[in-house]
């Protein structure tokens, strides 16, 4: 079918080579730069912001969630590394899916990656703004006006909630002193004090918009400038993270680690989107393939090195902050700064952490802002987007139009989005992309005799492991947690069914992959990558699945309205 027409590896390499000879991207990146880009992308909002929510939900045991997520990402990283070594082009998962599954899936992945890179940067920009305003308040007497530090809908929701409390007799001081409601006060003040045009309140996150503009300008200027800025920022934040771990270790009270799983496995898994969000971004390295000096060798190394380094740091940080304060206190926007503010002798370090967080999250935005335009450039080369998206700036050698559009796409949602919703939807899009990349490696290994990557994942036959995991997991759950099986087998209502549907889907996929592993002798690592990523996707909740499906539906409408008829493969077939 025309919807599933594929591109061969040979055609991709030839067309990319021809494009490079005409007006290619500048090649400045080595393995150290790629590893730095990976660290820049991974260590950001996750370690300075969302780790607090995950720790509050899961307690000290959140370190196991970090380890599990790291393993899942590492399995996916092996798949990315293989693809990057055999198809060293800027399209990343989009191009890999084009080869493995065909055009329709390639479009879906390209559309899903907008969630990871462009929409994900909305979350990073808002987190950056939180730390920036906190830093300004700590080092000066200036205070940002509340209506310039949040989005409209969050401010309105917070205002209505606090107003209801005040109407019931609770004072504003009580709301502010209660750790469960204190975060509502800023939105209440923002909505109440904001200027208005008619009945419309003017509320927006000015610092988030500012950093988006600055990063977009830097990325527009060139890969060399972006690389230099990234390397400097990575050195700064690594130094600060290591300082936090070293100093904080002396103030750990092991009593805070008891209980280790205060809310059980369910509470632990509720933080999965926050923890996974802490890892996304390593795949953005693969979008710089055409700017690497030796992509076949350096891309796989950069991807895997960055995940390994960041996992060690994440686990150490989680142990330190849950050891310094009780896990229940960590549901704050700036958990690292918060825990050191609690220690009188270390208040100075809270200010240093705020500075490093500002640097760290700027570096995340930099890498994400690099990734999205290069995906669009690849899609435009294939005819799925207008030619303007593939335009390379004659002086700066960057995809100029795509970079500007990416900046705009990040800027607009900053005015109205809820950071928690964006985090979950972003994680859904990324996990879907990771799953398809892992599945693509398995498919090519079975079907394509020309698939011969220079980087090869160690082979272990999955048929000896995956069936054991499939049946063993049910046996263990039946023995130790039979109530869970009873819950999922019991039909209560349609809404309850929808809540359980993601896990039903995962179990079905698990069964299919188990059968295919036996039939085709799948490689174990990409198989585990597919299963673990899909499992995490099933834990995001049916509402996030619904939002993601709506997003994909919008993308499909664009594909059928434009991309399907303008595709280069479609044009070639028509000419033939």
Domain map (residue ranges) of the chain: 2-140+208-441, 152-203, 454-575
The pLDDT score that the predictor gives to residue 68 is: 81
> If we measure between CA atoms, which residue out of 71, 59, 58 comes closest to residue 535?
71
pLDDT at 464 over 90: yes
* pLDDT per position as a tens digit, 114-128: 877 777 788 788 878
2-140+208-441 CATH choice from 2.40.160.40, 1.20.1740.10, 3.40.50.1370, 3.40.50.2030: 1.20.1740.10
The pLDDT score that the predictor gives to residue 576 is: 46
> If we measure between CA atoms, which residue out of 430, 369, 363, 296 comes closest to residue 36?
363
Lowest mean pLDDT among 113-117, 126-130, 450-454, 516-520: 450-454
- What kind and span of H or E run contains 196? strand 196-197
Residues 6+ apart with CB under 8 A from 496: none
The pLDDT score that the predictor gives to residue 30 is: 82
pLDDT at 27 over 70: yes
If pLDDT is split at 50, 70 and 90, which confidence band does 479 have?
confident
* pLDDT per position as a tens digit, 233-292: 888 888 888 888 888 888 888 888 887 877 777 667 666 666 776 777 777 777 777 778
The total of other beta-carbon atoms located within 10 Å of residue 389's CB is 19
pLDDT at 473 over 80: yes
- What kind and span of H or E run contains 200? strand 200-201
- Using an 8 Å Cβ cutoff, are 380 and 386 in contact? yes
- What kind and span of H or E run contains 197? strand 196-197
Residue 427 CA: distances (Å) to CA of 275, 533, 540: 10, 10, 8
More confident residue, 573 or 396: 396
Tell me what the mean pLDDT of segment 385-409 comes to.
87
| Burial (Cβ within 10 Å: 0-12, 13-18, ≥19) of residue 148 | middle
If pLDDT is split at 50, 70 and 90, which confidence band does 481 have?
low
The pLDDT score that the predictor gives to residue 518 is: 93
- Using an 8 Å Cβ cutoff, are 106 and 558 in contact? no
- Using an 8 Å Cβ cutoff, are 88 and 299 in contact? yes
pLDDT at 573 over 70: no
Residues 6+ apart with CB under 8 A from 175: 162, 165, 166, 181, 182, 184, 185, 188
Reported pTM: 0.80
> If we measure between CA atoms, which residue out of 301, 436, 309, 290 comes closest to residue 42?
309
């Amino acid at each position: 079918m025309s919807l599933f027409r594929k591109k061969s590896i040979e055609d991709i390499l030839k067309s990319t080579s021809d494009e490079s000879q005409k007006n290619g991207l500048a090649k400045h990146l080595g393995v150290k730069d790629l590893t730095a880009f990976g660290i820049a992308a991974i260590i950001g909002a996750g370690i300075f912001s969302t780790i607090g929510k995950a720790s509050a939900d899961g307690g000290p045991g959140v370190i196991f969630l970090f380890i599990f997520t790291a393993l899942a990402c590492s399995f996916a990283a092996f798949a990315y590394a293989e693809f990057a070594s055999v198809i060293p082009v800027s399209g990343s998962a989009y191009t890999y899916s084009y080869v493995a599954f065909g055009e329709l899936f390639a479009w879906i992945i390209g559309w899903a990656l907008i969630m990871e890179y462009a929409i994900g940067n909305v979350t990073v920009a808002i987190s950056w703004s939180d730390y920036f305003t906190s830093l300004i308040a700590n080092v000066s007497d200036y205070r940002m006006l509340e209506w310039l530090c949040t989005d409209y809908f969050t401010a309105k929701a917070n205002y209505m909630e606090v107003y209801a409390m005040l109407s019931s007799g609770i004072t504003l001081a009580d709301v502010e002193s209660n750790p469960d409601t204190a975060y509502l006060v800023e939105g209440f003040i923002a909505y109440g004090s904001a200027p208005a045009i008619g009945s419309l309140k003017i509320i927006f996150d000015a610092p988030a918009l500012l950093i988006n503009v600055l990063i977009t300008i830097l990325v527009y200027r060139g890969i060399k400038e972006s690389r230099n800025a990234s390397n400097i920022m990575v050195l700064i934040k690594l130094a600060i993270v290591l300082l936090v771990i070293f100093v904080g270790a002396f103030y750990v009270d092991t009593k805070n680690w008891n209980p280790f799983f205060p809310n059980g496995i369910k509470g632990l898994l509720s933080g999965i989107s926050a923890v996974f969000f802490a890892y996304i971004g390593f795949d953005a390295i693969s979008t710089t393939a055409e700017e690497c000096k030796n992509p076949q060798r350096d891309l796989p190394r950069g991807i895997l090195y960055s995940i390994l380094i960041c996992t060690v740091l994440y686990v150490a940080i989680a142990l330190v902050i849950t050891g310094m304060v009780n896990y229940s206190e960590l549901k704050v926007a700036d958990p690292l700064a918060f825990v050191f503010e609690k220690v009188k002798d270390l208040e100075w370090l809270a200010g240093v952490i705020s500075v490093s967080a500002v640097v760290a999250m700027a570096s995340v935005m930099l890498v994400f802002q690099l990734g999205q335009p290069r995906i669009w450039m690849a899609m435009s080369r294939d005819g799925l987007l207008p030619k303007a998206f593939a335009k390379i700036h004659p002086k700066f050698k960057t995809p100029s139009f795509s970079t500007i559009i990416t900046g705009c796409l990040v800027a607009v949602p900053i005015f109205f989005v809820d950071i928690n919703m964006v985090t979950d939807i972003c994680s859904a899009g990324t996990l879907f992309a990771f799953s398809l990349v892992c599945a693509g490696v398995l498919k090519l290994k079975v079907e394509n005799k020309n698939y011969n990557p220079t980087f090869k994942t160690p082979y272990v036959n999955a048929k000896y492991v995956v069936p054991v995991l499939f049946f063993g997991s049910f046996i263990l759950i039946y023995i130790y947690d039979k109530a869970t099986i009873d819950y999922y087998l019991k039909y209560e209502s349609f809404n309850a069914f929808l809540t359980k549907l993601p896990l039903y889907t995962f179990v079905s996929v698990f069964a299919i992959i188990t059968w295919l592993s036996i039939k085709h002798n799948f490689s174990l690592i990409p198989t585990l990558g597919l299963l673990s990523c899909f499992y995490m996707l099933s834990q995001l909740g049916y509402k996030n699945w619904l939002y993601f499906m709506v997003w994909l539906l919008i993308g499909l409408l664009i594909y059928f309205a434009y991309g399907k008829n303008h595709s280069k493969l479609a044009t070639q077939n028509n000419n033939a």
